[in-house]
Structure 1
Amino acid sequence: MFGYVTPMKMEMKIKDYERFKAYYCGLCHEIKKNYGNLSRISLNFDMTFLGLLLDGLSYDKTSVKKIHCPLHITENKAIIIDSSALDYASSINVALFYFKLVDDVMDDKSLKGKIGSLFFQHKEKKFSLSYSIVNKIIVNELENLKKLENSLNFNSIDEISHPFAHLTGMLIKAYPNELINDTLELRDELYILGYNLGKWIYIIDAFDDLKEDILKKKFNPINHLFNNNSLTADEFIPLIKNRIEFTLLNSSASAYESFKNLKINKNYDILDNILSLGLMDKNHKILNKYCQNNCKCEE
């Protein structure tokens, strides 16, 4: 359930793309600093967005440093340093990755997930007190989500996506550092943005996995809610695609509307690209990834 919130590179100015990469690499090194070198395998684009957004609303001055990266031996990489937003994003990144590994073990008996979860299970002890409070929110909402998924006691896509949507909203709203012109109204707007973005992530992830889940007879909320006649993946996906697309477009549009209500101090163009173009590009790619030349998905 990670890596969907990305920019549309072809529509970005070079300076903006370089800045985006500096945040991404900055988050990577923040994870290394706080949780060790191996923890960098948890790095994902969604938390880069979190860092960009919160830093764009913060008092922190942007500091950039060039470093030598073992993965890019031919060049020095620019990274954002001394960012409270990236420090926060690094902890959230590690926490969510750990619980994803635990979920993989429970669902698939994954050996890789079991080994990984053992490595990550003590990382939360390194959280600051303020981050530990946020970690409790993560634990509670993921438990609520798992209960719904296991019990199958839900009747709509809104109901099953709520725990992850609420979790995402709270992760942004509960940022423990002061923001520029910090008010309850600002925090509520951040919650709405995060809620709709989290709903979008949950649903697009479910559609992304839909064919594989049907083939392997694994739980998938879209299949459970709408495939009442137990159709095959090839039969079902064209029928449900437009309905899921409508929900995804509503969620992404609501997230973008909340973003437009914010007074972003920096990173505006990058964030605008991600929320207006990046999400739409991801919608198109994933909604149509099963389609062939004569696919009914496009009808």
Structure 2
Amino acid sequence: MFGYIMADEKQLSPEEVARYRKVYCGVCHSLKEQNGQLCRMTLTYDMTFLALLLNSLYEPLEHEDSARCGAHPTKPQPFATSECTEYAADATVLLAYHKLMDDWHDDRKVSRRAMAQALSSAYRAASARRPAVAQAIESGMADIRAIEQCGDESLDAAANRFGVILGRVFAYREDFWAGELRRMGAWIGKFVYLMDAVMDYDEDLESGNYNPLVAAGAVPGDVSEGLRSIAAQAAQSFERLPLEQDIHILRNVMYAGLWGQYCGKFGDTAHDDGEMAPSATRAADGDDGE
């Protein structure tokens, strides 16, 4: 993933930070148990958010423990695992493998190809456990690769396709909440893809790597309002879910954390007092993110 779906810990209480990190470590523990020690290198806060979201929605049994690891060899770290951290761990591996292969195609960095090969066994195992999710990611990333290779000048083509991918990842179960989770994930996926284009704009302009802004003759400032609209649509779906557990952490991610890197780079504020009201703002292109 891209590392944008994370909390702004400065706005969380010490207890909330501890809880957030406990689930993060839980996803890490699930990565090791299901996919092997090497897969812990793929850990991001993106799927920690998904684990927290699904834990809050479905309220599965959580197991708490503590353990030492490579990052913390001297002091055991508390962690919390559940069926949702296990799902997030598999999704992490599936997404990381394709991200590595995408980087290989873009930059021909041997290290990326080598890491993808090292993950191939874990990728196959995760695919066997989550075949529908794996297929959605594989076909979606192939479509994005084709869009990028033809130099598509649309700002939305690849972003919408990545939204479909993340929408499928968010839809943990085919149940009453699947549609809302899919919509929320689709909007977040579109946001993440365009945010990554904004953050990588200067580098891609120089290197010649595909960037929808560069292809469309746009600059980062041209999509700032569109990003706000997309985030607001994601927030609408988020607020329709019956969430109670960890709700302040989840809202922190949705209304503050998503904008952390943007504000750090541009010194801009995408929200007031750390939050942006989930208004009925219409997305810039008028679609539903899928």
Identify the TM-score tier after normalising by the shorter chain.
0.7 to 0.9
Match of 1:233 in 2: none
Deviations 1:13-61 (A, max 9, x none): 1111101000111111111111111111111111111111111111312
Identity value in percent: 28
Paired position in structure 2 for 1:100: 99
Number of equivalenced pairs: 268
Q: Is the 8 A contact 2:93 2:126 kept in 1?
A: no
**1:31 counterpart = 2:10:** no
Tell me by how many angstroms 1:70 deviates. Answer: 3.5
Q: Which stretch has the larger CA shift, 47-56 or 242-251?
A: 242-251
Which residue matches 1:172? 170
The one-character-per-residue Cα deviations of 1:205-242 (angstroms, maximum 9, x if unpaired) are: 11111101111122211101125xxxxxxxxxxxx333
Q: Which moved more, 1:36-45 or 1:273-282?
A: 273-282
1:267 matched to 2:246: yes
Identify the residue that residue 67 of structure 1 maps to in structure 2. Answer: 67
In 1, the alpha carbon distance for the partners of 2:250 and 2:79 equals: 18
What SS does structure 2 have at the residue aligned with 1:157?
Answer: coil
Cα distance in 1 between the residues matched to 2:156 and 2:209: 20
Change (3 A) 1:267 1:100: same
1: CA distance, partners of 2:33 / 2:117: 20
**CA shift for structure 1 position 91:** 0.8
The equivalent residue for 1:293 is none
Aligned residue number for residue 280 of structure 2: none
TM-score using structure 1 length: 0.84
- Structure 2, unpaired ranges of 5+: 269-290
Residue 195 of structure 1 is aligned with which of 182, 186, 196?
186
Offset, 1:116: 0.7
**Match for residue 251 of structure 1 among 200, 209, 230:** 230
**5 Å matches for 1:1-299?**
1-81=1-81, 83-127=82-126, 129=128, 131-153=130-152, 155-173=153-171, 175-176=172-173, 182-183=175-176, 186-227=177-218, 240-288=219-267
Deviation at 1:146, TM superposition (A): 0.8
Partners of 1:204 and 1:286 within 8 A in 2 = no
Q: Match of 1:253, as an amino acid? A: A
The CA deviation string for residues 98-152 of structure 1, in whole angstroms up to 9 with x for no partner, is 1111112211111101211111122233137551221000001111111111112
Instruction: Supply the distance in 2 between the matched residues of 1:35 and 1:271 (Cα, whole angstroms).
Output: 26
SS at match of 2:3: coil
CA contact 1:60–1:84 (8 Å) conserved in 2: yes
Q: Distance in 2 between matches of 1:137 and 1:251?
A: 22
Unpaired segments of 5 or more residues in structure 1? Answer: 228-239, 290-299
Instruction: State the distance in 2 between where 1:269 and 1:250 align.
Output: 22
Query: What SS does structure 2 have at the residue aligned with 1:122?
Result: helix
- Deviation per residue, 1:137-181 (Å, 9 max, x gap): 00011111111111124x4322231110111111112x14x8xxx
Contact residue 25 and residue 80 of structure 2 kept, 8 A: yes
Corresponding residue of 2:288: none
Q: CA, structure 1 residues 203+120, in 2 after alignment: closer, same or farther (shift >3 Å)?
A: same
Which structure would you say has the larger Rg? 1
Q: TM-score, normalised by structure 2?
A: 0.87
Flag the 1:72–1:124 CA change in 2: closer, same or farther, 3 A. Answer: closer
